[in-house]
């Protein structure tokens, strides 16, 4: 069973099919998963962490524009046909 609420909400037969294509990953705090404009090829379904979506201004200042916990996922653009990191 998964701690991610999106994956947990999928009907068991389909969830097992989805999970066959997933792997667990230990993420390192403050390590970027993608930079703006990079090609994104991974969807993350946090189970026990929070992933910050951060935007960087031209002067180098940063601001957190969203965060994703165990209720969500990152990389939604892949599902919608866009593989480029937006922020």
pTM for the full predicted model: 0.83
pLDDT tier, 86 (very low <50, low <70, confident <90, very high otherwise): low
Is the CB of residue 73 less than 8 Å from the CB of residue 23? no
Backbone angles phi, psi at 64, to 5 degrees: -80, 120
Q: How many residues does the chain have?
A: 87
pLDDT tier, 36 (very low <50, low <70, confident <90, very high otherwise): confident
Q: Where are the domains of the chain?
A: 5-79
Beta-ladder partners of 64: 54
pLDDT digits (tens, 9 = 90+) for 2-22: 799 999 999 999 999 999 999
Enter the tokens of residue 62. 């940063």
């Amino acid at each position: 069973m998964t701690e991610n609420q999106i994956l947990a909400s999928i009907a068991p037969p389909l969830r097992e099919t989805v999970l066959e294509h997933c792997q667990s990953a230990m993420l390192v705090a403050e390590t970027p998963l993608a930079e703006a404009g990079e090609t994104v090829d991974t969807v993350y379904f946090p189970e026990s962490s929070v992933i910050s979506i951060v935007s960087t201004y031209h002067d180098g200042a940063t601001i957190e524009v969203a965060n994703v916990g165990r209720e969500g996922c990152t990389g939604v653009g892949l599902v919608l046909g866009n593989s480029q990191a937006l922020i």
